[in-house]
Structure formats: C-alpha cells, structure tokens
Amino acid sequence: MPHITSGSPPPPAHMKGAAMTDILIYTRDVCPYCNRAKALLSAKGQTYREINVTHDAAAKAEMIERSGRRTMPQIFIDGDHVGGFDDLSAEDASGALDTRLGLEDAKGEDLASSIVIIGSGPAGLSAAIYAARAGHTPIVVTGDEAGGQLTTTTEVENWPGGPEGLQGQDLIDQLTAHAERAGAKIVTDTITAVDSSRRPFILTGRRNRYHADSVIVATGATARYLGLDSEATYLGRGVSACATCDGFFFKDQTVAVVGGGNSAVEEALYLTSIARHVTLIHRRDTLKAERVLQDRLFEKAEAGDVTLLWHHEVGDVLGDADGVTGLELRDARTGETHILPVDGLFVAIGHDPNTALFKDTLEMTGGYITTGHATEAKRDGAATQTSVPGIFAAGDVSDPVYMQAITSSALGAMAALDADKYLTREGLS
Ligand code: FAD
Ligand code: NAP
C-alpha cells in the first residue's frame, strides 16, 4: 500500500474560500522539484495528497505506468495528469492552473518594501540577510526554482566553514532560515514584469504586485540543453538535467552524461553509485572541471565504472515508447557516427543567465547584466549597480566568470549594502 500523506500550510488570507480540488503528487525523499511543486500549490492555498515512492517499488511502478514518465514529481489534478514541476509551472504562467483550480478570480496582494529581491538562491538570500540587518524589511520573491541551483545538488564541498561538506538543500535551508530570522519576508511568486520607468519601481508577479524603492536582481542561471528535437521528446523519459533528481530511476541501468565542467563530472560521479555504467561524453579531450573532481573521475574510469568518450557530440537521442534506448554520437574530429545504447542521458553543458525580464531595460554584456555603474556615487562602491539607478544585480545573473555559491553570496551581500547606501542617498530610508 503506497504511503500517502496530505499536507500544506493554511492558505493565505486572499486565497481562503477558493474551491478545493483533488491534487495528488508522487514524491520522493530527495526531490527539489517535489518541494517546488508543493510550495507553488501551497502558495495557491491548495491542499494535496502525497505518495512517497522512495521505498515503495509498487508506487513507483504505478507512477511510471500512470504518467509514462521517469522524473519526479508527477502531479495529478482531479485524476488528470498535469506532468512534472515544469508542466505545473508552465500552467501557472499561462493561467491554466488557476482555471483548473477555480482560482481565476483570486486577487493577489499589493506588497511594498524599500528592497525587493528577485531570486532565492545564495545571492538573493545573502542579500536578504544583509538588507534586513541594515534595518530594512526586504521581500524575497522566490521564483520557480526556490533556493536556486544548489537545491539540485548533493554535496557542496567548497562552502567555507563546512569542512565535512554540506548538502545543497541544507545550505539553502540554513540561508533561508537566517534571512527570515533577520526579518526578510519570503514570498512564493515569480516576477513577470518590472516597470523601471517609475518610482517606486513596480514589479508584477504571477500572484502579487510589488512596490520597491530599490530592486536586487538575483535571478541566477538555468541549465542549458543541447537543443535537439529528440532531446525535448524524451525529456522526463530518459533525458534529464539533474542527476540528483532523476538518477533514482536508473538503478543498475546504463547512462551517459554530456559535458566537461564541474556539473558534468559531479553528475557522472553521483551516477556511478546508482547506475551499472556511466559514459561521460565530452566534445574535447580536456575537462574544465576542477582538479579534485577530475581525479575522482579518472579513478572511477580506471576501476571500469566510467567510460570517458573524448571528442564526441550527441547528434540525436534515440528511443521508443518506453523512453531512451540510445544516442547517436558523432566524432567531432572525423564526423563519423555510431550508436551508444543507453537508458538515460544527463545533460550538463552549462547554464544561461536568467535575464529575459530585463532585456529592454538593463545593459548586458554577453547576456549577463552589466554592473559597476557607479555614476556620482563612485566613492560609495556601487559595484553591483546596474545601468538603472536603484536596480542592483548579484550572483550568476551578472557573473560570467566565477559562478560559485560563495561568490554569489558575496555579491548578494554587496548588492544589499549598495542598495542601502542608495536608499540613504536618495532620502528613501
Ligand atoms: P541561482 O542559484 O541560480 O538562483 C536563482 C534564483 O532566481 C532562483 O531562486 C530562481 O527561482 C530565481 N528566479 C529566476 N527568475 C525569477 C523571476 N522571474 N522571478 C523571481 N525569481 C526568479 N557552486 C559551488 O560553489 N559549489 C558547489 O558544490 C556547486 N555545485 C553545483 C552543482 C550543480 C548541479 C549546479 C547546477 C551548480 C553548482 N554550483 C556550485 C554553482 C552554484 O549553484 C551557483 O553559482 C549559485 O547557485 C548561483 O547563485 P544565484 O543566487 O546567483 O542563482
Ligand atoms: P561550465 O563550467 O560552463 O561547463 C560546461 C561544459 O559543457 C563545458 O565542458 C563545455 O565544453 C560543455 N558544453 C557547452 N556547450 C556544449 C554543447 N552544446 N555540447 C556539448 N558540450 C557543451 O558549466 P557547469 O559545469 O554547469 O558549471 C557552471 C558553473 O557552476 C561553474 O562556474 C562551475 O564551477 C559551477 N559549479 C561548481 C561546482 C562545484 O564547485 N563543485 C559544481 C557544479 C557547478 P567546453 O569545455 O568545450 O567549453
């Protein structure tokens, strides 16, 4: 019998009275996207039933049978299959989810703060801690990926002060608790527009509207995909960009990872503890990953757990009704192709900054928000100021070079200090 629980905190005041619907979420223990689906539904005042498939093979098989997918979570509303978190989020963005839930008329709130922070990764949460300690009551808008990229990884071994290593989700939970304790308000919502032509700035969210004297953009980056039609066809049915999330489905099977950076090597190492065999496919013959990770990978290769396939690219993902069956690989030097039979493909080829919201308003360099616009405030630092005074940027969204948790956190702290100085100078605090 599957283990069923029901959950979610009481609905926000503005959602009370909304019609309740039967929502079922198949979840598992370590599952960032399950947490995001639950947070989104809770923010809409919904209660849900949960079937945790972690130690329940029958429930896992039932989920795969009902959904045809091998990715977590899977969500059903009134018996209809919605899909995974990305599908739920897309329905939320289009308004279709509100229609399903009978919430078309639900009104969001008008919220105001001297500092509104867009994004809840290490940059946004660190900005929140510093902004709150400077005497503000910052609002952190979480976005779809509450907690950011670190929630999709296991061990974080390079966070200073964590010599034993920390789980990515635990680190984010600590930063969130710290921000809340300092006085920040964390709101589950996603910003869809920023009006920077007026003061205070007006930020439109899917749920609420925000009035902000200053804004810190900490929207981070999102995993890149290869862009193959077949990759999209098999997404969730053998193709994934998150080994921590979906590796679980590939026990004793064969998988490939494509990429040559830290993410690819970490994913390959993680998968060796689950899959029967892992092939790392890289388009060159040297890795970008840091030395300690490379050494671990080479050890696994020597032990026969990993095959390193240099100078190869994925030309196509092959599959059938049950999911991925193999990859068509191309030798980057000769152009020759061959088929590699695998059950899964993990894509780890880097990230693109989330800057679409600002493409017409903020100056960018190579797709990243340009910072360091110091104007007359140069002596006050303002290293994180963007081309619009009062809007600051921090973390992976403005950093094409370092892209680490600690550097993102540091930039978040700097953005909060810069915003505080701006507010004082403008007589707004
Ligand atoms: P992100 O973590 O990307 O967070 C961005 C936030 O912005 C999210 O909360 C998202 O929901 C939100 N957002 C986006 N758009 C909107 C919107 N429109 N409205 C509201 N919110 C929005 N670094 C290390 O130092 N050590 C590691 O061990 C490590 N491991 C990693 C493992 C993996 C698998 C990956 C992918 C990355 C890893 N990194 C690691 C890199 C590290 O995670 C990033 O550098 C860091 O998370 C960047 O922080 P950030 O706050 O700038 O952005
Ligand atoms: P990354 O460092 O940018 O590496 C991307 C890799 O994918 C590169 O090897 C690149 O090849 C390859 N690639 C890019 N586009 C490709 C394509 N179309 N087809 C095939 N291969 C392609 O990205 P990342 O590994 O996701 O890391 C992003 C940031 O997060 C980095 O700053 C990293 O340090 C950080 N991070 C840190 C940790 C950690 O500290 N433990 C863990 C994960 C991530 P080339 O090498 O040929 O360019």
Ligand 2 proximity of 395 Cβ (cutoff 6 Å) = no
Amino acid 376: pLDDT: 55
Amino acid 413: pLDDT: 98
* Residue linked to tokens 């505080």: 420
CA distance 245 to 232: 18
Q: Shortest CA distance to 237 belongs to which of 64, 24, 13, 19?
A: 64
For atom 38 of ligand 1, which residue has the closest CA?
A: 150
CA 87 from centre of chain: 14
Place 11 in a pLDDT band, splitting at 50, 70 and 90: very low
Residue 14 pLDDT > 60: no
CA distance 289 to 331: 22
Amino acid 4: pLDDT: 54
Q: If you average pLDDT over residues 356-375, what whole number do you get?
A: 91
Amino acid 378: pLDDT: 54
Q: Shortest CA distance to 87 belongs to which of 46, 147, 36?
A: 36
Which candidate in 144, 189, 245, 399 is catalytic? 245
As a three-state string, the secondary structure of 324-364 is EEEEEEEECCCCCEEEEECCEEEECCCEEECCHHHCCCCCE
> pLDDT > 70: what percent of the chain?
93
3-state DSSP call for residue 229? helix
Parallel, antiparallel, or unpaired: how do β-strands 191-195 and 201-205 relate?
antiparallel
Amino acid 381: pLDDT: 65
For atom 22 of ligand 2, which residue has the closest CA?
A: 349
Q: What is the DSSP string of 106-162?
A: ----EEEEEEEEE--SHHHHHHHHHHHHTT---EEE--SSTT-GGGG-SEE--STT-
Amino acid 16: pLDDT: 40
Q: Would residue 34 show up in a list of annotated catalytic residues for this protein?
A: no
Question: What is residue 167's DSSP assignment?
Answer: E
Would you tell me how many other CB atoms lie within 10 Å of the CB of residue 328?
Answer: 16
The residue to mutate among 120, 130, 150, having the most atoms of ligand 1 within 8 angstroms of its beta carbon, is: 150
Q: If you average pLDDT over residues 274-283, what whole number do you get?
A: 97
Dist. CA 153 → ligand 1 center (Å): 10
3-state DSSP call for residue 192? strand
**74-88, 218-232, 307-321, 366-380: least confidently modelled range:** 366-380
The residue to mutate among 242, 314, 349, having the most atoms of ligand 2 within 8 angstroms of its beta carbon, is: 349
Place 375 in a pLDDT band, splitting at 50, 70 and 90: low
The pLDDT tens digits for 161-206 are: 988 889 999 999 999 999 999 999 999 999 999 999 999 999 999 9
HSE-CB at 303 with a 13 A cutoff on CA atoms is 13
Contact 139, 237 (CB under 8 A): no
Q: Would residue 213 show up in a list of annotated catalytic residues for this protein?
A: no
Would you tell me how many other CB atoms lie within 10 Å of the CB of residue 95?
Answer: 12
Which numbered atom of ligand 1 lies nearest the CA of 267? 34
Amino acid 19: pLDDT: 53
Q: Would residue 245 show up in a list of annotated catalytic residues for this protein?
A: yes
HSE-CB at 54 with a 13 A cutoff on CA atoms is 10
Place 374 in a pLDDT band, splitting at 50, 70 and 90: low
Provide the token pair at 168: 């990515």
Amino acid 380: pLDDT: 62
Amino acid 12: pLDDT: 44
Dist. CA 42 → ligand 2 center (Å): 34
Q: If you average pLDDT over residues 38-52, what whole number do you get?
A: 94
At a CB cut-off of 8 Å and minimum separation 6, what does 342 contact?
254, 255, 256, 279, 324, 325, 326, 327
> Model-level pTM?
0.90
Residue 20 pLDDT > 80: no
Angle at CA 30, nearest 5°, toward 26 and 36? 65
Q: Shortest CA distance to 36 belongs to which of 126, 170, 122, 152?
A: 152
Would you tell me how many other CB atoms lie within 10 Å of the CB of residue 45?
Answer: 21
For atom 43 of ligand 2, which residue has the closest CA?
A: 263
Which numbered atom of ligand 1 lies nearest the CA of 192? 18
Ligand 1 proximity of 32 Cβ (cutoff 6 Å) = no
Parallel, antiparallel, or unpaired: how do β-strands 166-167 and 80-83 relate?
unpaired
Amino acid 15: pLDDT: 42
At a CB cut-off of 8 Å and minimum separation 6, what does 240 contact?
71, 246, 344, 345, 346, 347
The pLDDT tens digits for 55-81 are: 999 999 999 999 999 999 999 999 999
Ligand 2 proximity of 425 Cβ (cutoff 6 Å) = no
The pLDDT tens digits for 116-168 are: 999 999 999 999 999 999 999 999 999 999 999 999 888 888 999 988 889 99
Dist. CA 122 → ligand 1 center (Å): 7
Q: State phi, psi for 116 to the nearest 5 degrees.
A: -110, 130
Q: Which amino acid is at 281?
A: I
Ligand 1 proximity of 408 Cβ (cutoff 6 Å) = yes
> pLDDT > 90: what percent of the chain?
84
